Amino acid sequence: MIKRYNNDAYREIFEDKSKFAEVFQEYFGREWISLKELNYDKFLEFIKDKEMFIYKPINSAQGQGIKKIETKQFQSSRNLYDYIKDTYKENGIIEDWITQHQEVSNLYSKSVNPVRIVSVNKNGRFNIVAAGLTIGNGRDIQMFV
């Protein structure tokens, strides 16, 4: 279905989280930075006032490889920066932790409970193929399968 309904010219944008965030920056709604462009000064600016943030591998999908990183788990900003660079190299982005609407958080407050809608644009008409609400199950990151 993906090959049939998606233009290959745009595939890389949707498979590379850094490119996706860049192209859709005005809709992204949160701060992010590519690990390829990360230096210590940019990192300090990014983590300022953050208790936690998310690491996402560039080409993962459905929540795979995503890690919640809590700043208080590290002795210093430098230790945290070194951990990110040593562990993930340049493969990924870091972005703000999402604060969801209270009504959705009431379902399960220890993770983001994502709503995902799969749609198809056929001849200018959008059709919903599938929709799902993933509710937490004890982990910080929820997978969509």
Pairwise CA distance, residues 139 & 13, whole Å: 28
Q: Residue 106's domain spans which residues?
A: 100-145
- Same domain membership, residue 45 and residue 14: yes
User: Based on the domain organization, do 37 and 67 belong to the same domain?
Assistant: yes
Structural domain count, the chain:
2
Question: Does the structure show a pLDDT above 50 at 64?
Answer: yes
CATH number at residue 29: 3.30.1490.20
pLDDT tens-digit map of 80-114: 999 999 999 999 999 999 888 999 999 988 888 88
Q: Give the pLDDT mean for 22-39.
A: 93
**What beta strand segments (E) does 22-86 contain?**
32-34, 52-56, 67-70
Does residue 129 share a domain with residue 81?
no
**Percent of the chain scoring above 90 in pLDDT:** 59
Shared-domain flag, residues 23 and 73: yes
Q: Give pLDDT tens digits for 75-89.
A: 999 999 999 999 999
pTM of the model: 0.80
pLDDT at 27: 92
16 and 67 share a domain?
A: yes
